[in-house]
Amino acid sequence: MQTALTYPFQLPELAFDYNALEPFIDETTMHLHHEKHHQSYIVELNEAIKDYPLLHELSIEALLRKLDTAVPERIRLVVKNQGGGHANHQMFWKVIRPPGVSGAGSDPSNALARDVTSTFGSLDNFKKEFEKTAVNLFGSGWVFLVYDSNDRRLKVHSTANQDSVLLETGLGAIFGNDVWEHAYYLKYNNGRAEYLHAWWSVLAWDIADERYTGLKNGTLGK
């Protein structure tokens, strides 16, 4: 009998078909993004930690939170990059859905929407700030709506490369958008702003609201 090798981190299945986000995110981009890009971060992360079984017990969130204390220095940079890539993409697939599913494609009226409105003035103001931050992000990176447990505030926050907000004390991602060119270039070419604008049609506000609740009460991302 052959025993399958098990790796601590695995590619999560999508909750929807690869073509389900058309026309906002095209099927080819979805295949490449999930099966090639995300898979590659996982393969490299598993490879980096293969000789450190204690690290295999940690969730990806715990691994990144403990980067400077639990992860040996010689693999710290690769875990930051590849582990960040895994955490960011795992979150990304969780918060997007086809329009009409889990609040995607319509303006929200939940607790998150109320707090976004009171923090940023209006939902439109928030979207503008989020898009502007992403357009102005030089090179590759991510833009997030975070809950900052230090001051219990909602904030737009960007990171470079695959850096996770988990590396920053107190921050949790309610949702984030990937502004690496691999996320949009096939369909939108250099039109990052157009992609960002279209992306709201697939953001699942109901799932974002659940994540917000989980971040506020400390149950998400442990």
217: buried, middle or exposed (CB in 10 Å: 19+, 13-18, 0-12)? exposed
Task: Report the SS3 class of residue 46.
Answer: helix
In one letter, which amino acid is 70? A
Shortest spacing between CB 88 and Mn ion, in angstroms: 7
Q: At 164, phi and psi to the nearest 5?
A: -90, 150
Examine residue 178 and tell whether it contacts Mn ion (CB under 5 A): yes
Near Mn ion in 182-221, by CB under 5 A? 183
Shortest spacing between CB 149 and Mn ion, in angstroms: 26
Q: Name the one range near Mn ion by CB under 5 A: 3-11, 46-54, 143-151, 170-178.
A: 170-178
Q: Tokens in use for 87? A: 């955490």
Residue found under tokens 């690769």: 78
Shortest spacing between CB 178 and Mn ion, in angstroms: 4
Number of residues forming the site for Mn ion (CB under 5 A) = 3
Q: Name the one range near Mn ion by CB under 5 A: 20-28, 54-62, 173-181, 202-210.
A: 173-181
Q: Name the one range near Mn ion by CB under 5 A: 10-18, 43-51, 160-168, 172-180.
A: 172-180
Q: Tokens in use for 129? A: 């700030």
Q: Name the one range near Mn ion by CB under 5 A: 24-32, 96-104, 117-125, 180-188.
A: 180-188
Shortest spacing between CB 16 and Mn ion, in angstroms: 17
Nearest Cα neighbor of 176 from 94, 106, 111 is 94
> Omega into 12 within 30° of 0, i.e. cis?
no
Interface residues with Mn ion (CB under 5 A)?
178, 180, 183
